[in-house]
Amino acid sequence: MEIVSNQQKQKMHPHKFTLWVAIGSLIMMFAGLTSAFIVKSNQVNWKPVSLPVIFWVSTGVILLSSLTIQMALRSFKDREMNKYRMLIGMTVLLGAGFIFCQWMGFRELWAQQITFKGSGAGQFLYVIFGLHALHVAGGLIALAVMFINGFFGNRKNYSSVPVEVAATYWHFVDALWLYLLVFFLLIGRS
């Protein structure tokens, strides 16, 4: 009986497994997009782009949100529901702040006449950063549902799996943003 119990503990929860498969797919998608960027940047009429300063602000915001979701996970596991609700709510607000900063950065690029016309880093920046923002928005929807469930949901079993899955995904989109920012800083300016 003890052997079966230990084997069950070692198995990965199906939701976590599904998340890791999805993360693998997203890594391949963004690797493909950044690889295409490198290939296209060797064209003669390629125009580099300087990133708006607001993208640095959004970096601070999303890093702070990673801290708040980790603290929310810890609070949930400790069954400190008031603290959990506050921290998950802060994470939602910070995530929305990140998307707002992205929107402001896109507006600034557009005002500089960096559009989808022609050839250059601007087109890739809109697509890659836009897809990232879309994935953050998806995470925000999940976090908003968790926030609402924190107030109205039935918490009799206190399974931390949904919070763990959300936190892992959120840390992934944070790390992905850092990769994309560094990529555009190092490769996008050449």
Please give the structure tokens belonging to residue 32.
């493909």
- Average pLDDT, integer, range 27-51: 88
Name the percent of the chain lying above pLDDT 70.
89
- Average pLDDT, integer, range 129-139: 93
Distances in Å between the alpha carbon of 38 and those of 33, 100, 154? 9, 28, 49
Name the percent of the chain lying above pLDDT 90.
54
Residue 95 or 152, more confident = 95
pLDDT for res 119: 62
* Other Cβ atoms within 10 Å of 135 Cβ, number: 19
| Angstrom distance (rounded) from CA 37 to CA 120 | 9
pLDDT for res 118: 65
- Give CATH superfamily name and number for 54-186: Cytochrome c oxidase, subunit III, four-helix bundle (1.20.120.80)
Please give the structure tokens belonging to residue 104.
């402001």
pLDDT for res 116: 75
Distances in Å between the alpha carbon of 118 and those of 43, 156, 168, 181? 12, 57, 38, 23
pLDDT for res 157: 63
pLDDT for res 18: 85
pLDDT for res 40: 86
- Average pLDDT, integer, range 77-84: 91
Q: Where residue 3 falls among pLDDT bands split at 50, 70, 90?
A: low
pLDDT for res 150: 81
Of the ranges 6-10, 42-46, 108-112, 135-139, the best mean pLDDT one: 135-139
Residues 6+ apart with CB under 8 A from 131: 29, 30, 33
